[in-house]
Every structure is written in structure tokens, then in C-alpha cells.
């Protein structure tokens, strides 16, 4: 019976082999794998195919090996690719970090070499702050500003153009890019980094970092969506938002803090520079013409700003009846004519505030007097504004009463040529 059953399976296997290329599956409640050895010949000349039962796995050995090799190659290729990519990233990051460290080291050395006045700052400033200032990649900043597209340009100063950028969906920045044609160059860049990075104040725009790559020099500030005071004060549609109470609060806030006055050490009251850098229309005469700056230089600038806030007129672009007068000259003319009320911005001209407004104008004229010794100190200005000092001295003639006709430029060495004390020198001066 067993022989008959086996012969039956062999016949079935032979039929299946013909059809399925020697892969044999015989179903009679069991599965049989058969390997065929063709034409086994006998001595009488006849022949027969020999079928031998083998393990089923033996028939698929070559196919399995190919699968294993293929899978191994694929996994190996993926692993090597990932490893190579991670290694490349690590090397690139390491090189970039070393490059930044080298650049910052050179930058700090140059900054300390060019600005020995670091010692003047140590009483009030954190000495390690500039080393903590982040360095930004140029490529990242270019991407944030759409390659410094004109549509993202916020303005232009002596330092160079200022662009609005977006580092992420939530963080907006303002990028001040040093112009290649700027006369201010590396000295002003380093000065701003050294000073601003160490000063933290609610009235100062925060410096987030800088970029120093090849010829590029950029300062990255926090972006102020509401812009600055002049965007409201000198806009006929927006100035209505600034009533007198708001304007007076702004005046008080500015008067409580003077930037330059905070930089001097306790035993100093003035310093000198060979390079004039400042905002046209706000610089004191001794600074603009002789390079001497002190607390009184800031007082002069504050006085100009105070008169602008009260009048709603900008000093650097003031014109009145074709007279060659600045805002300071116009205010002085009205004061001499006992008609200073005419200087008040109609938007805030209310009888209940008139006395306070007139006192502010009086303080403003005291601040812009020609000679620094005649101006009040920073510490007494707030007392004057709050009427803590009852009797104010009579102001003397302001500096720059005539409209200044010099061109705005970045910065320059002080010229030996000067005009009269009421006119700007022939130095090339421009706002930051």
C-alpha cells in the first residue's frame, strides 16, 4: 500500500513538474517537495527520471540568499547615508562655531583697542555683556528680509539702511545694515555694539545681536511695531492720538533719563571726540562744531525735542513764512514778541493746560541756550517741569536760530572752518 501511494505521488509530481518548473506541491493532506534528476539510463537502453523527496526549504535556498543580500545592502546604504549626513552636519556646525568664536575674538580685541573708554563705562555697565551678544549668520538675515528687499526697508540713516525681518512666525526684528559707502564704518559699528549691548533700559530699543561676516556689518534690534514718536507727532492723521496728558507723560519719561549723562564717570563732566556723529537738528553747538559733549549736550537735545512735542513741528524740516528760521529761532521770535502761545500745537491748545504747556516751552528754551553753562542740569529739569522750582530764569538766545543749510551726511572729521555760532559748521553731518 505504501508503494502504491508513493507511485501515485510520483505520477502527480511528474505532471506538476512539467507545468511548474520542478517546484512540486502534492496535496493529499500533506505537502511533498521533490527534486527531479532527468533521464537515469539503464543497461538495456531505457531510462527514467529519478525523483527524490527533499526538504521544502532546499528548493528556495538561492532565492532566500538573494533576498537577504538585497535587504542587507539596502539597510547598509541607508545607515551609511544617515551616518555621513550626521557627520557632515557636525563638522559644518563645528566649523561655523569656531569661525564665530574667532570672529568675535578679533572683534572684541579691535573694540577694546579702538575704545579705551570702556573703563569709563565700568561703573554703570556690565563688562561681560558684549561677549554674550549673539552673532547672526548673514544667510539667515538675508532670508529673514527676503534678501533685503526694498519692500522691507524701514528707513535710511547715516549708518545705512534699516530693514524689517522675520526670524520666525512670532519674532520680528529690525536690521541696521552698514552701508559700504558710509563714512562711519567700523568705529561707529563697534561703538554702538559696545555701548548699546551693555545698556538695558525701558526707553532703549534692545540690541539682540550683530553680524560680522566678511565686509558685512549689521546690528539686529527688536522690532517696534508702533514705530517712534515722530511717526505720530508729525503725522496730521495720527497726532490727534497724542493729547496733552500723553505728551506731558512722554516729556517726563524722557527727562528722567539722559543717555550721555549716564556714561560719564563721577569725576568727569565732559569728553572730546574728533568724529561728530549724531542726529541733525538735535546736536548742541559745542558738540557739532568742536566735538565737545557732556551732560549739557543731552540737555540741548532734550530741549529741541520738548519744543517739537509742544509745537507739533519738526526742527530739522521747519519752514515759516519763507523766513530763514529754525524751530528754535521761531520760538525765540515769539518769546521776544510775548506771543509764545502761538507756538502751541492747535491739537492740544486747551485753556486748562495752557499754564503747564507754557512752562514746558520756557524750560525748552532754557535747554537750547547757545552756551552750555547757561543750560539747566539734567537733575533740575524734572523739578522745573513739575513746578517744584517756582521762578524760572529768563532764557537767553538759543543756538542755531537760523535754518541750518548743511547737507546730511554720515559723519566726518571736524573741520577747522566755522561759520557764526548760530549756523552749523561746514562739517558734513548726518543722523544715525
- Give the chain's domain count: 4
Q: What is the mean pLDDT of the chain?
A: 72
Residues 6+ apart with CB under 8 A from 38: 49
Assess whether 242 and 292 both reside in one domain.
yes
404 in a structural domain = yes
Assess whether 283 and 237 both reside in one domain.
yes
- Could you give phi then psi for residue 419, rounded to 5 degrees? -95, -160
**How large a percentage of the chain has pLDDT more than 90?**
21
Assess whether 403 and 257 both reside in one domain.
yes
Q: Which region holds residue 23: left if phi is over 0, alpha if psi is between -120 and 50, else beta? A: beta
What does the pLDDT average to over 340-347?
Answer: 91
E-strand stretches of 20-145: 33-41, 47-54
In terms of residue numbers, what domain contains 381? 230-413
123 in a structural domain = no
Residues paired with 398 in a beta bridge: 369
Assess whether 294 and 404 both reside in one domain.
yes
- The candidate with the shortest Cα–Cα distance to 301, out of 255, 345, 333, 266, is 255
pLDDT single digits (tens) 87-102: 999 998 888 777 766 6
- The candidate with the shortest Cα–Cα distance to 328, out of 307, 357, 348, is 307
288 in a structural domain = yes
User: Residue 140 belongs to a domain with what CATH number?
Assistant: 3.30.200.20
Assess whether 254 and 177 both reside in one domain.
no
| pLDDT reported for residue 93 | 85
pLDDT single digits (tens) 379-390: 889 889 887 777
Assess whether 107 and 251 both reside in one domain.
no
- Could you give phi then psi for residue 11, rounded to 5 degrees? -65, -45
Assess whether 405 and 273 both reside in one domain.
yes
430 in a structural domain = no
Assess whether 161 and 283 both reside in one domain.
no
| pLDDT reported for residue 374 | 93
Residue 184 has pLDDT above 80, yes or no: no
Point out the domain boundary residue: 31, 59, 87.
59
User: How far apart, in Å, are the Cα atoms of 371 and each of 15, 227, 235, 287, 385?
Assistant: 121, 33, 33, 11, 21
429 in a structural domain = no
39-48, 360-369, 416-425: least confident range: 416-425
pLDDT single digits (tens) 304-314: 999 999 998 88
What does the pLDDT average to over 11-29?
Answer: 46
163 in a structural domain = yes
Assess whether 79 and 140 both reside in one domain.
no
Sign of dihedral through CA atoms 110, 111, 113, 114?
positive
User: Residue 320 belongs to a domain with what CATH number?
Assistant: 1.10.510.10
| Torsion (CA) 356, 331, 431, 287 in degrees, nearest 10 | -100
104 in a structural domain = yes
Task: Name the pTM for this structure.
Answer: 0.56
Assess whether 55 and 66 both reside in one domain.
no
| pLDDT reported for residue 419 | 36
More confident residue, 47 or 135: 135
pLDDT single digits (tens) 412-427: 444 433 333 333 333 3
Distance in Å from the first CA to the final CA of the chain: 111
Residues 6+ apart with CB under 8 A from 124: 262, 263
Quickly list DSSP for 200-269: --TTSPPEEEEEEETTEEEEEEE--TT--THHHHT-TTTGGG--HHHHHHHHHHHHT--HHHHHS-TT-S
Assess whether 304 and 407 both reside in one domain.
yes
pLDDT single digits (tens) 49-64: 666 666 555 555 556 6
User: Residue holding cell 542755531?
Assistant: 400
**How large a percentage of the chain has pLDDT more than 70?**
59
39 in a structural domain = yes
Assess whether 141 and 187 both reside in one domain.
yes
The grid coordinates of residue 380 equal 533740575
Residues 233, 242: Cα–Cα separation, whole Å = 7
Point out the domain boundary residue: 169, 203, 222.
222
Amino acid at each position: 500500500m505504501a508503494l502504491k501511494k508513493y507511485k501515485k505521488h510520483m505520477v502527480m509530481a511528474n505532471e506538476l513538474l512539467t507545468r511548474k518548473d520542478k517546484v512540486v506541491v502534492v496535496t493529499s493532506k500533506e505537502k511533498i517537495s521533490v527534486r527531479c534528476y532527468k533521464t537515469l539510463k539503464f543497461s538495456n537502453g531505457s531510462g527514467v527520471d529519478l525523483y527524490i523527496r527533499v526538504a521544502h526549504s532546499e528548493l528556495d535556498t538561492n532565492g532566500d540568499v538573494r533576498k537577504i543580500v538585497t535587504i542587507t545592502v539596502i539597510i547598509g546604504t541607508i545607515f551609511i547615508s544617515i551616518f555621513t549626513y550626521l557627520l557632515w552636519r557636525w563638522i559644518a556646525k563645528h566649523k561655523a562655531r569656531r569661525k564665530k568664536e574667532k570672529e568675535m575674538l578679533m572683534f572684541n580685541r579691535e573694540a577694546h583697542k579702538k575704545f579705551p573708554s570702556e573703563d569709563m563705562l565700568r561703573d554703570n555697565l556690565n563688562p561681560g555683556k558684549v561677549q554674550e551678544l549673539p552673532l547672526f549668520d548673514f544667510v539667515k538675515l538675508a532670508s529673514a528680509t527676503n534678501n533685503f528687499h526694498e519692500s522691507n526697508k524701514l528707513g535710511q540713516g547715516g549708518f545705512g539702511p534699516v530693514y524689517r525681518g522675520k526670524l520666525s512666525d512670532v519674532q520680528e526684528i529690525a536690521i541696521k545694515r552698514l552701508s559700504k559707502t558710509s563714512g562711519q564704518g567700523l568705529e561707529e559699528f563697534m561703538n554702538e555694539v559696545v555701548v548699546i549691548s551693555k545698556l538695558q533700559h525701558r526707553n532703549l530699543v534692545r540690541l539682540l545681536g550683530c553680524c560680522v561676516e566678511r565686509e558685512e556689518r549689521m546690528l539686529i534690534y527688536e522690532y517696534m511695531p508702533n514705530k517712534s514718536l515722530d511717526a505720530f507727532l508729525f503725522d496730521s492723521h495720527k497726532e490727534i492720538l497724542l493729547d496733552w496728558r500723553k505728551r506731558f507723560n512722554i516729556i517726563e519719561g524722557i527727562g528722567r533719563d539722559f543717555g550721555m549723562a549716564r556714561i560719564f564717570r563721577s569725576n568727569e563732566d565732559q569728553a572730546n571726540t574728533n568724529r561728530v556723529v549724531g542726529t541733525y537738528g538735535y546736536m548742541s553747538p559745542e558738540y557739532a562744531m568742536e566735538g565737545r559733549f557732556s551732560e549739557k549736550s543731552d540737555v540741548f537735545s532734550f530741549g529741541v525735542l520738548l519744543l517739537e512735542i509742544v509745537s507739533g513741528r519738526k526742527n530739522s524740516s521747519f519752514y515759516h513764512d519763507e523766513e530763514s528760521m529754525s524751530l528754535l529761532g521761531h520760538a525765540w521770535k515769539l518769546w521776544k514778541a510775548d506771543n509764545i502761545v502761538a507756538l502751541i500745537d492747535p491739537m492740544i491748545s486747551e485753556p486748562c493746560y495752557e499754564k503747564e504747556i507754557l512752562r514746558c516751552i520756557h524750560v525748552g528754551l532754557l535747554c537750547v541756550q547757545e552756551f552750555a553753562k547757561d543750560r539747566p542740569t539734567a537733575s533740575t529739569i524734572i523739578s522745573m517741569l513739575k513746578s517744584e522750582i517756582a521762578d524760572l530764569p529768563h532764557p537767553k538766545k538759543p543756538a542755531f536760530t537760523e535754518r541750518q543749510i548743511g547737507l546730511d551726511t554720515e559723519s566726518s572729521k571736524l573741520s577747522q572752518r566755522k561759520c557764526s555760532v548760530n549756523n552749523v559748521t561746514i562739517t558734513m553731518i548726518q543722523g544715525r
